[in-house]
Amino acid sequence: MAAQRTAQRAADPLGRLTARLETAQQRLDEAERRVSTRGSWDSEHMPDLARGVAAGDELSWRQQARKVAQEVEAPEVKAPVIERTGPVLERVS
């Protein structure tokens, strides 16, 4: 009787570990399926994703440039003076 109880107690942890292993395997299978689906989607949409990344980079650089430009004091710019008188051209006949 004592040997039977000892064997049963030893089997209970093994049963729990087996159940945990099965649950972990199911989760792993589901995760691999999702990663595979995501990888397929990424492959199909790679050009769109690349354009989106490039656009995000460009917008980030522009925002940074605007911020720096606002911090810099711009010198006063005067309109150029345009001479309206010029040399007089003579016609030679």
Q: What is the pLDDT of residues 24-58, one digit of tens each?
A: 999 999 999 988 888 888 888 999 999 999 999 99
What is the chain written as a DSSP string?
Answer: -HHHHHHHHHHHHHHHHHHHHHHHHHHHHHHHHHHHHHHHHHHHTHHHHHHHHHHHHHHHHHHHHHHHHHHSPPPP-PPPP-----PPP----
Q: What is the pLDDT of residue 77?
A: 82
Angle (CA) 76 63 72, round 5°: 25
Domain extents in the chain: 2-69
Tokens of 39: 């990888």
pLDDT (average), residues 70-90: 80
d(CA 27, CA 50): 31
Residue 42 makes CB contacts below 8 A (sequence gap 6+) with: 49
